[in-house]
């Protein structure tokens, strides 16, 4: 699946999960937040599409994604991204514990 198509699918899933998405330029990575009760995802337009997808995938992982219909091709991509995120988090924990 092309990354542009994947981003559109992930954005749609996040919106179904109650998030608004803003794409901005700046010196930040991007993440989710709640402002005045509204759930928001801010994504840096300057970051590579893969980084943007990882931010959206992390939000979807925290959602009750079992209640969302996720197309099989998108689910496969998400599982790959989630696996990478898990390895990254495990490596960070090992570094913190040293």
Compute CA distances 54 → 11, 17, 74, 97, whole Å: 11, 16, 13, 25
pLDDT at 15: 96
pLDDT tens digit string along 60-93?
999 887 788 999 999 999 999 999 999 988 888 8
pLDDT at 36: 93
The residues that bridge with 33 in the sheet, in sequence order, are 40
Exposed/middle/buried for 97, CB within 10 Å: 0-12, 13-18, 19+? exposed
Exposed/middle/buried for 68, CB within 10 Å: 0-12, 13-18, 19+? middle
Handedness of CA 72, 75, 79, 84 (dihedral sign): positive
pLDDT tens digit string along 22-69?
999 999 989 999 999 999 999 999 999 999 999 999 999 998 877 889
pTM of the model: 0.87
Structural domain harbouring 77: 3-97
d(CA 8, CA 14): 10
Number of domains in the chain: 1
pLDDT tens digit string along 35-46?
999 999 999 999
d(CA 32, CA 43): 9
């Amino acid at each position: 699946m092309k990354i542009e198509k994947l981003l559109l699918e992930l954005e749609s899933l996040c919106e179904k999960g109650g998030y608004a998405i803003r794409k901005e330029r700046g010196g930040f990575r991007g993440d989710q937040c709640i402002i005045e009760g509204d759930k928001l995802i801010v994504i840096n337009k300057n970051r590579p599409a893969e980084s943007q997808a990882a931010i959206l995938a992390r939000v979807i992982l925290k959602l009750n994604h079992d209640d969302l219909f996720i197309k099989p091709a998108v689910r496969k991509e998400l599982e790959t991204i989630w696996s990478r995120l898990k390895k990254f988090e495990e490596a960070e924990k090992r570094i913190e514990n040293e």
